[in-house]
Amino acid sequence: MSNTQKFIGALKQINKGVKDSSQDVTVYFGEVIQTNPVNIQVDQRFILDEDFLILTNTVTGKDMLQKEDKVILLRAQGGQQYIVLDKVVTE
């Protein structure tokens, strides 16, 4: 296989990945029900533990998550991972 064919194959894979992943992101809202380890209840339907969460610097820095905090999450990778973007300000 030539380098050109390999390059074209790689571009096809990248393009397929972009199309597939663009449909996999969903926004959810949740509530922190436990902080150590972090557990978040999502839309009163299911609970996510740390195995399914990716915590951003925003929620792990000086303004760490507290019990009963409301958070915004993005579901990625077919629902296997949830990115905790930030806290929701309700005041």
CATH number of the domain residue 81 falls in: 2.40.50.140
Please check whether residue 15 lies inside any domain of the structure: no
Structural domain boundaries, residue 82: 26-87
Range scoring the smallest mean pLDDT among 8-17, 23-32, 60-69, 79-88: 8-17
Q: Please, which pLDDT band fits residue 46 given cuts at 50, 70 and 90? A: very high
Supply the pTM of this predicted model.
0.70
Task: Calculate mean pLDDT across residues 56-83.
Answer: 86
Residue 77, pLDDT above cutoff 70: no
In the chain, at which residue ranges do the beta strands (DSSP E only) sit? 26-35, 38-42, 46-48, 53-55, 70-76, 81-87
Residue 21, pLDDT above cutoff 70: no
Please check whether residue 67 lies inside any domain of the structure: yes
Averaged confidence pLDDT in the chain: 82
Please check whether residue 3 lies inside any domain of the structure: no
Please check whether residue 32 lies inside any domain of the structure: yes
Cα–Cα distance between 56 and 81 in angstroms, integer? 13
Domain count, the chain: 1
Take residue 64 and report the two structure tokens written for it. Answer: 């760490």
